[in-house]
Amino acid sequence: MTRRERTINIALWVAQSSLAASLLFASILKLTQPISDLLVLWPWLARFSKWTIALGILEMLLGLGIIIPELLRRGRKIVPFSAATLIVYSLFSNGLLLNNGEIQSAAGGLVSLLLCVFVLWGRSKSSFDTPT
Residue 131's pLDDT is 66
Average pLDDT rounded to a whole number, residues 63-90 = 91
d(CA 124, CA 79): 8
Q: What is the residue range of 119's domain? A: 3-128
- Eight-state DSSP code of residue 75: -
Question: Is pLDDT of 130 > 80?
Answer: no
Question: Is pLDDT of 83 > 90?
Answer: yes
Percent of the chain with pLDDT over 70: 95
> What pTM was computed for the model?
0.88
Number of domains in the chain: 1
Average pLDDT rounded to a whole number, residues 13-25 = 96
Residue 132's pLDDT is 60
pLDDT, tens digit (0-9, with 9 covering 90-100), for 31-71: 999 998 988 888 878 887 888 899 999 999 999 999 999 88
Confidence of residue 25 (pLDDT cuts 50, 70, 90): very high
Handedness of CA 83, 12, 27, 91 (dihedral sign): negative
